[in-house]
Structure 1
């Protein structure tokens, strides 16, 4: 069964949240510098967390930044990166993970050659959870073109 992307009004209505399953390699794909495949969106499907899978390579890293409304958790599916969070540094390779709390400047540098695959999970600050939290997933859900939706099935 295909999971429909919610419209903005539905995203605020808990009665529209329905169970769904996605096959490998499917989700709602937005290009926001790289292709982000949303598995659970911030503005719909759950709103207590967001889950995004993406593939990137050296030179496509985001600049250091801070999220005031969300914590981030990265699970490295493949590749090697150095994550920065405040004064801390973490070398993380495939199968490893890192937690980056809100309010602390962070970023990462890709250390391996070729592609790196990441699963990023964000969770809102308690005061931001009720209606979406304006995190990075909402940025592309609201601003980027939805290029691919999960197939019917």
Structure 2
């Protein structure tokens, strides 16, 4: 019989600035990261608004699941389109191109990443900053700058994500 690694319990208080970041125009709350789950998964609560949508991209390392808490989001996964509303669940397997569009003024989701690692993308210092208020950052005033697009692409590739 082999000895099995047991994870430590993790508790997280809601609506605190601890582990909360502004990623673009999204509010990202890291509920649990790979360090806390022995790399098995990570989970983020994200409040999104139009303007945060990524271009179609492909993950080579992890699957992503979205559970929609509020708002409406159109997901494009391979050739499949799905409009998700509160209570809907979406699995985006690795190696399948995907993207999404926020259809309402805001949308709130729980994003699960398995295995963990990609959660670090959303808090990378070149792409995000610690939130100082529990509210969305300002919405974008036009398309992302060429510098931000380059940073998203370069840092994404470090995490095995390709546009």
TM-score by length of 2: 0.67
Alignment partner of 2:10 out of 3, 8, 20? 20
Moved over 6 A (4+): none
Alignment partner of 2:108 out of 117, 128, 136? 117
Question: What aligned pairs does 1:124-143 form with structure 2 within 5 A after superposition?
Answer: 124=115, 134-135=117-118, 137-143=119-125
Distance 2:131 2:102 in 1: 26
Question: What aligned pairs does 1:2-151 form with structure 2 within 5 A after superposition?
Answer: 18-26=8-16, 27-33=18-24, 34-42=26-34, 44-46=35-37, 47-112=39-104, 114-124=105-115, 134-135=117-118, 137-143=119-125, 144-147=128-131
Aligned pair count reads 123
The secondary structure found in structure 1 opposite 2:59 is coil
Q: Which residue of 2 aligns with 1:11?
A: none
The secondary structure found in structure 1 opposite 2:58 is coil
User: Deviations along 1:17-63, whole A, 9 cap, x unmatched?
Assistant: 53231122235112221221100113x11120000001111222122
| 1:145 shift after superposition | 4.1
Structure 1 residues 30 and 66: CA distance shift in structure 2, 3 A:
same
The secondary structure found in structure 2 opposite 1:60 is coil
The secondary structure found in structure 2 opposite 1:51 is strand
